[in-house]
Amino acid sequence: MGALLEVKNLNVYYGVIHALKDVSFHVNKGEVVALIGANGAGKTTTLHTLSGLLRPQSGSILYQDKEIARMPGHKIVSMGMAQVPEGRRVFADLTVEQNLRLGAFTRKDKNEIDETLSMVYERFPRLKERQKQVSGTLSGGEQQMLAMGRALMSHPDIILMDEPSMGLSPIMVGEIFNIIEKVHADGTTVLLVEQNAKKALKVADRAYVLETGRITMEGKASDLLHDEAIQKAYLGE
């Protein structure tokens, strides 16, 4: 058995724009892998393609040794891949609990769902306090927690996180990264897309750098954290 997720020579177009150019990377089971890069480098495009929201022109995505590059998005979720999308995208008119239960849409066993729900509430006590609240009225940080909890409700093997720290206060950013570490410690594999490269490299095992649709660097996160070029371009040092 190879990597949990193996992306090979992925090419994605938005109309005439060549958004991803021969992108290849892999994520092993149990790892936290970070994908860093500037705005417009293709990070979100990568995650959307993995989740089946975008169709690649060419290339392959092997997940648990199965080709998923042309599979409809809703089927990918039931294979154990969940995503916390950029901008959270919680269902604003629905309550916290309704949102969480939608996260378990692909699961059938009611008892197991209730079990996961109480686990999520344990992990996010703030969400439990607000379970009957309409989620559009939550703060940005709480919505981020909700989006993460919702993704966990599908009981994923791998969770893709798109800019989870975006627009949050420094305290909340710290909290979100703590949660990422805990989710990882529970045995969930994480593919993390972040503009906050420093924080991302600190929690990640390995990382890839994406520049205008191409992977330009890869390596152990701790090595990249001390790489001069990376420090200059992404860490502001």
Partner 1 sequence: MSFLTALVSGLSLGSIYAIIALGYTMVYGIAKMLNFAHGDFIMVGCYIIFTVASTWGSSPVLGVIAAIVLCTLLGVATERVAYRPLRHAASPLAVLITAIGVSYLLENLALLIFGADAKAFTSVIPWNGISLFGGQLHIQGVTIVTIAVSVVVLVALQLFIHRTRSGQAMLAASQDQGAATLMGIDVNRTISLTFAIGSGLAAVAGALLCSAYPSLSPYTGAMPGIKAFVAAVLGGIGSIPGAMIGGLVLGIIEILAKTYISSQLSDAIVFGILIVVLLFKPTGLLGKVVQEKV
Contacts to partner 1 by CB under 8 A: 51-53, 72-75, 77-78, 82-83, 85, 89-94, 98, 101-103, 105-106, 150-151, 154
Cβ–Cβ under 8 Å, residues 28 and 174: no
The encoded tokens of residue 196 equal 């906050």
Residue nearer to partner 1 on the CB measure, 18 or 101 = 101
CB of 62 to partner 1, least distance (A): 20
Residues 6+ away with beta carbon under 8 Å from 198: 225, 234, 235
Cβ closest to partner 1, residue 167 vs residue 174: 167
Q: Cα separation of 144 and 87, whole Å?
A: 8
DSSP per-residue letters across 33-74: EEEE--TTSSHHHHHHHHTTSS--SEEEEEETTEE-TTS-HH
Taking the least distance from each CB to partner 1, the nearer of 2 and 72 is 72
| C-alpha to C-alpha distance for 1 and 107, rounded to whole angstroms | 26
How many helices, marked H, and strands, marked E, lie in the chain?
A: 10, 10
Q: Which is nearer to partner 1, 90 or 210 (CB)?
A: 90
Minimum distance from residue 164 beta carbon to partner 1 (Å) = 14
CB of 226 to partner 1, least distance (A): 35
Min dist CB 121 to partner 1, Å, is: 19
Give the residue with the Cβ less far from partner 1, 140 or 219: 140
What is the closest distance, in whole angstroms, from the C-beta atom of residue 87 to partner 1 in the complex? 8
Q: Among candidates 88, 87, 46, 90, which has minimal Cα distance to 69?
A: 46
CB of 180 to partner 1, least distance (A): 18
| Residue 186: Cβ within 10 Å count | 10
- Nearer CB in complex with partner 1: 106/131: 106
Rounded to an integer, what distance in angstroms lies between the CA atom of residue 52 and that of residue 90? 19
